[in-house]
């Protein structure tokens, strides 16, 4: 009995961490909310929602989102880990005017050899990228979208803040691909957590 309990505890803890990572910082209502880009994969089986409140207006947060990408500002995450995977990212610590012009159809690089495609651009409101029409070596067993959605909210002092919600959606074509994506949910959550924390720091410390 004791041995079974010792095995069950880490399994239960891992399951709890996995469930928490799928909705890191996002409320249940936010996870149910329709967002831009959902229609690109209407039958997606996997959804990850993460969110944070940034104490600045959406127009002050948007420039940091607009310049996301491996060949631009990076992803404000754990660059040392990303570069171990060969991403060759040099993260930005300021807004770059030359990276602000984002248009539908642009490549959105994750790695020198892997690019998604910009599908939706609504400045100050939403950026959505998709694997559909993207560029990756070999054949992927899944399709994905990644949405960055900014919504104005109010801080306790009455000032405008930004609720930033990130949504990953996956449509898999086989059990192996689905299992892989499910198992990488914790890694995705950790990288996204770092992104949100770093973004908050960068936005707050940036000159107005």
Give, in order, the Cα–Cα distances in Å from 68 to each of 51, 75, 195, 201.
Answer: 17, 6, 11, 16
User: What is the per-residue pLDDT for 156?
Assistant: 83
User: What is the per-residue pLDDT for 8?
Assistant: 35
Buried/exposed 7-34: b ≥16 CB within 10 Å, e otherwise: eeeeeeeeeeeeeebbbbbbeeebbeee
> Do residues 134 and 116 touch, judged by C-beta distance below 8 A?
yes
Length of the chain: 208
Distance in angstroms (rounded) separating the CA atoms of residues 23 and 51: 8
| CATH number of 35-205, picked from 3.30.530.20, 3.40.50.720, 2.60.120.430, 3.40.50.300 | 3.30.530.20
Q: What is the pLDDT along the chain (208 residues), one digit of tens a residue?
A: 444 433 333 333 334 444 555 789 999 999 999 999 999 999 999 999 999 999 999 999 999 999 999 999 999 999 999 999 999 999 999 999 999 999 999 999 999 999 999 999 999 999 999 999 888 766 778 899 999 999 999 988 889 999 999 999 999 888 888 888 888 888 999 999 999 999 999 999 988 7
Residue 144, strand partner residues: 170
């Amino acid at each position: 009995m004791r041995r079974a309990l010792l095995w069950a505890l880490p399994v239960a803890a891992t399951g709890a961490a996995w469930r928490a990572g799928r909705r890191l910082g996002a409320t249940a209502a936010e996870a149910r909310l329709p967002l831009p880009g959902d229609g690109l994969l209407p039958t997606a089986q996997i959804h990850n929602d993460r969110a944070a409140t940034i104490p600045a207006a959406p127009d002050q947060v948007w420039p940091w989102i607009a310049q996301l990408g491996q060949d631009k500002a990076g992803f404000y995450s754990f660059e040392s880990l990303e570069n171990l995977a060969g991403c060759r990212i040099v993260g930005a610590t300021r807004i770059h005017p030359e990276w602000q012009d984002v248009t539908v159809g642009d490549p959105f690089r994750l790695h020198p050899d892997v690019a998604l495609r910009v599908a939706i651009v609504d400045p100050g409101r939403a950026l959505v990228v998709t694997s559909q029409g993207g560029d990756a070596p070999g054949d992927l067993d899944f399709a994905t979208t990644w949405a960055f959605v900014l919504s104005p909210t109010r801080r306790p002092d009455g000032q405008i803040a930004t609720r930033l919600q990130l949504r990953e959606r996956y449509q898999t074509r086989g059990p192996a691909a689905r299992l892989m994506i499910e198992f990488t949910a914790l890694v995705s959550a950790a990288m996204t957590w770092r992104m949100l924390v770093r973004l908050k720091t960068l936005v707050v410390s940036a000159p107005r």
